[in-house]
Amino acid sequence: QIFTAAVDEATLAQTLVAAPPLFASPINTAADPTPYSLAVGDFNNDGIPDVAVGNGTAGNVAILLGTGDGHFQAPIKTIVPGGVGVLAAGDFNKDGKLDLAVTTTQTDTAGTHGAVSILPGKGDGTFGTPITFLSGSAGAGPLAVGDFNKDGNLDLVVGHGSLTGLSVFLGNGDGTFKSPTIYPSSYGAADLAAADFNGDGNLDLAMSTGSVVLIWPGNGDGTLQAPAIYPAGSDPWAMAVADFNGDGSPDIAVANYPQPTFSVLINKGDGTGAFKPAVGYGGPAAGNSAIATGDFNRDGTADIALADQNTNGVSIWPGRGDGSFDRAGVYPAGAGPYAIRAADLNSDHRDDLVVANQYSNNVSILMSVTRFAVPQPSGLNFPELAPHATSPAQTMTLLNNGTADLRVAMAEVRGPNPRDFVKVGDSCSGATVPAGGTCTVSLQFAPTTGGIRAANLTVTDDATGSPQLIPLNGTALFSTPRSGVGAPTPASGSAPPRISPPPAPPRRTAGLRPS
pLDDT of residue 501: 52
Q: Considering just the CA atoms, what is the radius of gyration of the chain in Å?
A: 34
DSSP code per residue over 447-496: -SSSEEEEEEEEEEESSTTPSEEEEEEEEE-SS--TT-TTS--PPTTPPP
Q: Containing domain of residue 329, as a range?
A: 19-366
Do both 352 and 393 map to the same domain?
A: no
Q: Is 387 in a helix, a strand, or coil?
A: coil
The residues with which 123 forms a beta bridge, in sequence order, are none
Q: Which residues is 425 bridged to in the sheet? A: 442
Torsion of CA 248, 250, 251, 255, to 10 degrees: 140
CB 324 within 8 A of CB 263: no
Q: Name the pTM for this structure.
A: 0.79
Task: Please name the residues in contact with 104: beta carbons below 8 A apart, sequence gap of 6 or more.
Answer: 80, 81, 82, 83, 84, 85, 114, 115, 116, 117, 132, 140
Evaluate whether residue 416 is within a structural domain: yes
Q: Classify residue 19 by its DSSP letter.
A: P
Same structural domain, 339 and 380: no
On whether both 301 and 381 belong to a single domain, the answer is no
Residue 94 Rama label (left phi>0; alpha psi -120 to 50; beta): left
The verdict on residue 6 lying in a domain is: no
Q: Residue 218: its pLDDT value, please?
A: 98
Do 85 and 110 have their domain in common? yes
509 in any annotated domain: no
Is the Cβ–Cβ distance between 203 and 230 less than 8 Å?
no
- The residue among 77, 14, 6, 7 whose CA lies nearest residue 408 is 14
Pair 24, 55 in one domain? yes
Per the domain annotation, does 506 fall within a domain?
A: no
Q: In the chain, how many domains are there? A: 2
Same domain (yes/no): 448, 332: no
In terms of Cβ atoms closer than 10 Å to its own Cβ (0-12, 13-18, 19+), residue 125 is: buried
CATH number at residue 95: 2.130.10.10
DSSP state of 357: E
Check whether residue 319 and residue 431 sit in a common domain. no
**Within 13 Å and on the Cβ side, how many CA atoms surround 325?**
30
| 8 within a domain of the structure (yes/no) | no
Residues 385 and 420 sit within 8 Å (Cβ to Cβ): no
Q: Could you list the pLDDT tens digit for every one of the 515 residues in the chain?
A: 332 333 333 333 333 344 568 999 999 999 999 999 999 999 999 999 999 999 998 999 999 999 999 999 999 999 998 879 999 999 999 999 999 999 998 887 777 888 999 999 999 999 999 999 988 887 788 999 999 999 999 999 999 877 788 999 999 999 999 999 999 999 989 999 999 999 999 999 999 998 899 999 999 999 999 999 999 988 899 999 999 999 999 999 999 988 778 999 999 999 999 999 999 997 655 678 899 999 998 889 999 999 988 889 999 999 999 999 998 789 999 999 999 999 999 998 899 999 999 999 999 999 999 888 999 999 999 999 999 999 999 999 999 998 889 999 999 999 999 999 999 999 999 999 999 999 999 999 999 999 999 999 999 998 888 999 999 999 999 765 554 444 444 444 444 444 455 555 555 444 444 44
At residue 514, the pLDDT reads 44
Domain membership of residue 499 (yes or no) is no
- Strand ranges across the sheet with 251-256: 239-242, 251-256, 261-265, 279-282
Does one domain contain both 455 and 325? no
Question: Is 175 inside a domain boundary?
Answer: yes
Q: Which of 476, 491, 508 is the last residue of a domain?
A: 476
